[in-house]
Amino acid sequence: MTGFGIDVLEVEAKFKSPGNEKVEKALQRLGAKKLGAESVEDVYFSHPSRDFGRTDESLRLRKTELGSELTYKGPRIQLEGSKAREEITVRPNDALAAQRIVERLGFRERLVIRKKRNSYLLEKLRVDLDDVEDLGEYVEIELLTESPEYSAKVMESVRKDLELERLEPRTYLEMILERKEGKLKS
């Protein structure tokens, strides 16, 4: 990222998994390298003076056994079969201190999402197999790039190889909030 605009975007597509075991076997057949398995806790914050739901932004503190990341995600740019967005991430040594700083600045914890994640590298693509608490199994394919249009084509090829059919355009945060609102209305 430079002061002259966006250099790199994260291009991502999420799919409802046909079964993470099945996808994992397909990844192994394709020669993907397993990066690891981890438990992930994502803490999402609400902004003190603007609605991130309306501006399509988010601020997330991710906590894993390996460390933490504080990530700002900008508004989505819709592409055919995927989405791209600016992401700015810092890796604080102390997740609790990072959360305290964010809260002292007026942000409030909105929702915590927990998931088990197995991550693979398939050429330049990262493929994450997630089992999300209260949502089920999903597959995320992502690539950091300067050319979102080209990335979407590469990702489409991998989607076919992994037999992923059900594109999920919503974030986990959006899905869980919709589910909670649905339960409140019932």
Q: Are 151 and 143 in contact (CB under 8 A)?
A: yes
Fold of the domain spanning 9-185: Hypothetical Protein Pfu-838710-001 (2.40.320)
Q: Hey, where are the domains in the chain?
A: 9-185
Sequential pLDDT tens for the chain (186 residues): 333 344 567 788 999 999 999 999 999 999 999 999 999 999 999 999 999 999 999 999 999 999 999 999 999 887 766 778 888 999 999 999 999 999 999 999 999 999 999 999 998 899 999 999 999 999 999 987 767 667 777 888 899 999 999 999 999 999 999 988 876 443
Catalytic residues: 44
- Spatial distance between the Cα atoms of 167 and 140, rounded to a whole number of angstroms: 10
In terms of phi and psi (left: phi > 0; alpha: psi -120 to 50; beta: otherwise), the region of 108 is beta
For 7-134, where are the alpha helices, taking DSSP H only? 20-29, 52-55, 95-104
102 within 8 A of 87, measured Cβ to Cβ: no
Distance CA 144, CA 57 (A): 18
